[in-house]
């Protein structure tokens, strides 16, 4: 699947690393620029924002309830939920500015839309290389149909979902004429306990959708779990990114710092290199084989014309002589010259 102009993704490729900025800019575009710079320095391939506005995600009732899912914001009296959502949103003008800045820095930039007008903006004005769909919209089939018809590659997260819902989402996108789909295994808990991550679901998705690259949207603490997903063949890794885990904001605590993102990027490349081929074959040079393998060696001195018995043979390094696998063919042959004890046999010594 061609995700961007310069990046083709497939299972078991070196994964495309998305630094999910989300709302970690806290509504401050100077902070957003610092995040973009550090993501690039860490080696990420892309920075991603979330294009929600005060009116595109939550209903009036949700604001009136004033209930935050994020623990750090629950029961706060210094602002309302509506106020913080508005403060942490990013405007179209700001997103255009961030896209331009990311281009200067040399890193891809995309975003997640939450309504049709945001889709239109990302496609027509931001010219996003791909569209990322949040887990909450996996069963929003009218929305999926709309964005699929835009013809952009789609990355879709699958948190909160059953396989039947994922299947319907994929079919909805396909039926709209779009087959540029990447599916991310995701657990929508911030953070999940390790036993709830179920990385084996990456294999399940690979088997269910063999024609599509499968990746991992990570909300765990640390670098171990996303790196493990590379060994499962993840084509994309999405990880929240922050300058400081202790900053005020929704997702900083479950985000990777620059150092952690560097570990993910370098570790992913190393793991992908180490995965290699599915075909079993020797990778060592002939010189290494000779050094580490054994040869057939005489256990006693022998005279020319002596017949070789099995008890006359031992097997020792280096492997420069006749290999042990040929011992059964050596037994019963005669030596054509006098040979000392502990001698490495060669074919020229035999009659």
4: tokens are: 């961007």
Output the pLDDT for position 288: 85
Q: Which residue ranges of the chain lie beneath pLDDT 70?
A: 68-77
Give residue-wise pLDDT tens across range 86-97.
888 999 999 999
pLDDT at residue number 232:
98
Q: Residue 170: exposed, middle, or buried by beta-carbon count in 10 A (0-12, 13-18, 19+)?
A: buried
Asked if 89 and 53 touch (Cβ cutoff 8 Å), the reply is yes
Q: Which domains does the chain have, with CATH numbers?
A: 16-53+89-275 (3.20.20.70), 286-349 (3.90.1210.10)
Q: In whole angstroms, give the CA distance from residue 47 to residue 45.
A: 7
Which residues are within 8 A (CB) of 232 and not within 5 positions of it... i.e. 6 or more apart? 199, 200, 202, 203, 216
Residues 6 or more apart from 212 whose CB is under 8 A from it?
1, 170, 181, 182, 183
Q: What are phi and psi of 64, to 5 degrees?
A: -65, -35
Asked if residues 180 and 155 have their Cβ atoms less than 8 Å apart, the reply is: no
Tell me: the pLDDT tens digits for 105-150?
999 999 999 999 999 999 999 999 999 999 999 999 999 999 999 9
Query: Given this model, what pLDDT does residue 70 score?
Result: 58
What pLDDT sits at residue 11? Answer: 96
- Residue 49: how many CB atoms within 10 A of its CB? 29
Q: CB count, 10 Å around CB of 92?
A: 15
- The residues facing 109 across adjacent strands are 47
pTM: 0.89
Q: What pLDDT, on a 0 to 100 scale, did the predictor assign at position 278?
A: 87
CB 152 within 8 A of CB 123: yes
Q: Is 246 exposed, middle or buried (0-12, 13-18, 19+ CB in 10 A)?
A: exposed
The pLDDT of residue 74 is 54
């Amino acid at each position: 699947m061609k995700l961007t102009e310069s990046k083709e993704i497939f299972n078991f490729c070196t994964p495309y690393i998305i630094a999910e900025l989300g709302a970690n800019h806290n509504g401050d575009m100077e902070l957003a620029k610092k995040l973009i710079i550090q993501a690039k320095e860490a080696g990420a391939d892309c920075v991603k924002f979330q294009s929600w506005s005060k009116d595109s995600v939550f209903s009036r009732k949700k604001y009136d309830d004033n209930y935050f899912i994020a623990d750090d914001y629950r029961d706060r009296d210094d602002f309302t939920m509506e106020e913080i959502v508005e403060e942490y949103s990013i405007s179209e003008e700001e997103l255009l500015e961030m896209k331009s800045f990311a281009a200067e820095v040399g890193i891809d930039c995309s975003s997640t839309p939450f309504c049709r007008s945001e889709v239109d903006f990302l496609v027509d004005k931001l010219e996003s290389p791909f569209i990322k769909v949040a887990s909450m919209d996996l069963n929003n089939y009218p929305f999926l149909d709309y964005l699929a018809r835009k013809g952009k590659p789609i990355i879709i997260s699958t948190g909160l979902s059953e396989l039947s819902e994922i299947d319907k989402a994929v079919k909805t996108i396909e039926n709209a004429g779009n087959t540029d789909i990447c599916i991310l295994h995701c657990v929508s808990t911030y953070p999940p306990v390790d036993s709830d991550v179920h990385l084996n679901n990456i294999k399940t998705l690979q088997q269910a959708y063999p024609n599509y690259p499968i990746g991992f949207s990570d909300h765990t603490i640390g670098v171990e779990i996303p790196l493990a997903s590379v060994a499962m063949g993840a084509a994309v890794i999405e990880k929240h990114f922050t300058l400081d885990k202790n900053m005020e904001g929704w997702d900083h605590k479950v985000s990777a710092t620059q150092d952690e993102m560097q570990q993910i990027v370098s570790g992913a490349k190393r793991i992908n290199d180490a995965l290699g081929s599915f075909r079993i074959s020797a990778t060592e040079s002939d010189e290494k084989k000779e050094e580490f393998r054994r040869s057939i060696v005489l256990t006693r001195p022998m005279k020319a014309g002596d017949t070789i018995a099995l008890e006359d043979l031992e097997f020792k390094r280096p492997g420069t002589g006749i290999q042990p696998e040929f011992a059964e063919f050596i037994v019963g042959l005669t030596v054509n010259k006098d040979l000392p004890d502990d001698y490495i046999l060669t074919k020229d010594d035999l009659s």
